[in-house]
Amino acid sequence: MKVSQVSPDESGIVRWPGTLGARSSVVTIGVFDGMHRGHQALLRRVVELAAKNQDRPMALLFDPSPKLVHSYADSHDMTEPPLDLIRHDPDQIMPLEERLRLMSQLRLDQVVVVRYTLAFAAKSYRFFLKQLTEQLAMRTLVLGRDAQMGAGRVGDIKAIGDLADTGLFNLEVVDDQGPGDCTLPDADGLERRRVRAWSSSHLRQLILDGDVDAALDILGRPHMVQGTVVHGEQRGRRLGFPTANLAPDSQGMMPADGVYAGWLVDLGLPTDPMATPEGREGRLAQGSPWRMPAAISIGTKETFLAPGQQMPRILEANAVRPDWVDLYGHRVRVEFLSRLRGQKRYAGEEPLKRQLALDADRTLELTKAAGRVFSVN
Ligand SMILES: Cc1cc2nc3c(=O)[nH]c(=O)nc-3n(C[C@H](O)[C@H](O)[C@H](O)COP(=O)(O)O)c2cc1C
Ligand SMILES: Nc1ncnc2c1ncn2[C@@H]1O[C@H](COP(=O)(O)OP(=O)(O)OP(=O)(O)O)[C@@H](O)[C@H]1O
């Protein structure tokens, strides 16, 4: 799969690389945060339609997300979000790199990462779609029913359908996937809004609530957080439950405080010659020695907090295995299979150790029962 990055100029015009229009294409457009089962179905349809006419299956991926750009602009005098916020979008379920990895498993031929800016957003949907037909040789456009694009978001399915009917391109609308709609609390926690059950918005809420079991059902694989292992207080090894502590700049949405069963995958040192995409796939595979069942804790290690003491939230994972593994400095991926319990302040090390032993046993049971590796294939 080829990946191209394009940035619009100050007037919002994108200079599309000439190679993108060399062959007619089937295109879809979105953010694809989470790459959940709705996204997967839509992308599979793109690949299927392209195969019929030997077209190129292509996705346009907006980054940063339109939601981040518009919500920042609304509260900051219509300015663009700063680079630091774009890099650490607090609403992001998964990093761009992981979305691309999953897209390539679905056999897309080309992804164009489009830098989403206010000037780009101000272009009309007619202008934008005409560009896609001219510059990407778009023969067919595949969208979900809720599509809204272009200035004022007036390019909905009806308007895009009317444009398609002029003979410019074919429009394929994919039915809503999943069990229907659900309601989410709004930012103030009071008003409720209806969203598709299989949507990035619902997923975010579930992860923030710690309901990783429901998230897994929508994703078709476990939610994950990836990061670098740093030193903790070296207490874990003494307790008999060594933990890999993730640095605070980990990628992937952090679930609510609590204890979870899942896996820790050792992706190695960044300098490791195997730190290639192929090497990484080998490490992630089922049965690989780098994939270990893990009891995962997210919290402030309350048992060891002095009264009034504040500690940052830490994600740490205890690889459930008889020997200790040196993971310092390694990149690791933590995958969440199931929530076990909430965090608790224990009356000392002994009761905590008894609970950690139970968490480890339960983790082994659950990961063994899950048994298979999850992927979009
Ligand atoms: C599976 C698991 C569950 C945990 N649950 C709790 C808990 O309920 N309360 C708590 O204070 N700490 C909990 N912890 C955190 C431990 O206190 C922490 O791992 C230990 O203090 C080692 O810290 P260190 O890595 O800084 O050495 C848990 C850790 C793991 C791995
Ligand atoms: N459950 C679903 N069924 C069918 N199509 C879907 C589903 N979820 C998303 N899509 C489609 O996938 C494309 C990309 O979706 P997008 O990245 O906007 O995410 P989303 O899951 O709809 O998230 P959000 O909650 O932010 O609206 C869109 O065309 C959208 O309509």
Q: CB of 99 closer than 6 A to ligand 2?
A: no
Report, as ranges of residue numbers, the positions in the chain whose pLDDT lies below 70.
Answer: 189-191, 372-377
Atom of ligand 1 nearest to the CA of 295: 1
Q: CB of 30 closer than 6 A to ligand 2?
A: yes
Nearest to 317 by CA among 216, 246, 220, 234: 246
Question: pLDDT digits over 223-268, tens only?
Answer: 999 999 999 888 888 899 999 999 999 999 999 999 999 999 999 9
Q: CB of 245 closer than 6 A to ligand 1?
A: yes
Q: CB of 178 closer than 6 A to ligand 2?
A: yes
Instruction: State residue 29's pLDDT score.
Output: 97
The token pair that represents 244 in the structure block: 């890999």
Measured distance CA(273)–CA(269) in Å, rounded: 9
Q: For residue 140, how many C-alpha atoms fall within 13 Å in the half-sphere facing its CB?
A: 20
Q: Which ligand is nearest to the CA of 61?
A: 2
**Mind giving me the DSSP string for 156-183?**
EHHHHHHHIIIII-EEEEEPPPSS-EEE
Instruction: State residue 372's pLDDT score.
Output: 62
Q: 142 and 45 in contact (C-beta within 8 Å)?
A: yes
Q: Which ligand is nearest to the CA of 171?
A: 2
Non-local (6+) Cβ contacts of 77 within 8 A are none
Atom of ligand 1 nearest to the CA of 296: 1
CA of 294 to the centre of ligand 1 (A): 13
Q: CB of 232 closer than 6 A to ligand 1?
A: yes
Question: pLDDT digits over 292-335, tens only?
Answer: 999 999 999 999 999 899 989 999 999 999 888 899 999 999 99
Instruction: State residue 170's pLDDT score.
Output: 98
Instruction: State residue 377's pLDDT score.
Output: 46
